[in-house]
Amino acid sequence: MPRPGKTSGAQLFGILSAPSDDDDYQRQQFSNLGICMRLSPTHSIVPLLSGVLRIKMRGGIAKGLSTAVQSLGHPSQQCLRQSQAFRPTVSAPQVRPMTTSGLSPLSKLSASTRREPNDNAATMAFRLNQVVQNGYPTQEPPHHLHVYTHKHNTHITLTKPNREPLLSMSCGKIGFRKAQRSKFDAAHQLSSFMMGKIQEDGHLLTMKRLEVVLRGFGPGREAFTKVLLGPEGKNISKLVCRVTDSTRLKFGGCRSRNVRRLG
């Protein structure tokens, strides 16, 4: 005996295949299977589910039963009241609980923003008027601090905005000779000496902005960076507005020299 609400295809096909004048038999069989039918005196159950039989032969009992259930809402069809297993579950609409404080934090923030006077509107209008009349303020072109580091030496040059040199130093000018000029310590001392020299000569008074131009990947590159970001360059690093890398890159050109191999 099948459980209420669970109907096999063979059982349903046997009920639907009964004669059209045997409505009491069909009603009893549907009641045993858990389906309750309510028919008017002038209608029979066979016209209601005759479409199911035709569709069953082509697409299966499940498809036919689905088509019959979809057609139940039509006025010309019978009323089929399904059991609990066949009734569609309608979930109750979820009601958002109301906060005890009345307004949500977002609503409170929006209300407080609307109440505050918009003082920035006048300031923005004044600035916009100044820009329209006078245009944007033009910034002075920056000075340039060129740092050329290669595997043999380090050169640091300070120039004007028009590229005229103001101060130029290398590791050889502070006492390093031959192979000592390529060391990290020589580049570090050169960078520290150059920072002090710029301040002693008073170049900071005329320098509003500074652009650092790096070239090469020698040991002096990292040494200069540490000095600039350290206590020796705290007065100069404030003026840096741009850092540029101007290392030369060769596209084709002449054939390079063979790499030196030792040992």
CATH number, domain with residue 176: 3.30.420.80
Give the pLDDT band of residue 54 (cuts 50, 70, 90).
very low
In a domain, 3, yes or no: no
The string of DSSP letters for 52-68 reads HHHHHHHH-HHHHHHHH
In a domain, 115, yes or no: no
Q: Same structural domain for residues 147 and 229?
A: yes
Going edge to edge, which strands form the sheet with 240-245? 165-170, 154-159, 143-149, 210-215, 240-245
User: Per the structure, how many domains does the chain have?
Assistant: 2
In a domain, 39, yes or no: yes
Say what the pTM is: 0.49
In a domain, 237, yes or no: yes
Bridge pairing between strands 79-81 and 165-170: unpaired
What is the per-residue pLDDT across 148-201, written as a single tens digit (0 to 9) for each? Answer: 999 999 999 999 999 999 999 999 999 999 999 999 999 999 999 999 999 999
Give the domain extent around 239: 143-245
In a domain, 102, yes or no: no
Angle (CA) 85-17-88 rounded to 5° is 15
The string of DSSP letters for 208-243 reads S-EEEEEE--SHHHHHHHHHHHSGGGHHHHTTEEEE
Residue 134, judged by CB atoms within 10 A of its CB (0-12, 13-18, 19+), counts as: exposed
The last residue of one of the domains, among 81, 107, 122, is 81
Is the pLDDT assigned to residue 53 strictly greater than 60? no
Bridge pairing between strands 210-215 and 143-149: parallel
Q: Same structural domain for residues 76 and 148?
A: no
- How many Å apart are CA 227 and CA 234, to the nearest integer? 9
In a domain, 107, yes or no: no
Q: What integer pLDDT is reported at residue 81 of this predicted model?
A: 44
In a domain, 167, yes or no: yes
Q: What integer pLDDT is reported at residue 48 of this predicted model?
A: 46
Is the pLDDT assigned to residue 258 strictly greater than 70? yes
In a domain, 129, yes or no: no
From the list 171, 164, 166, the residue with the least C-alpha distance to 148 is 171
Angle (CA) 173-213-141 rounded to 5° is 110
Taken as a whole, the chain contains a residue count of 263
Side chain identity at residue 102, one-letter code: G
Q: What integer pLDDT is reported at residue 77 of this predicted model?
A: 46
**Token output for 138:** 């033009």
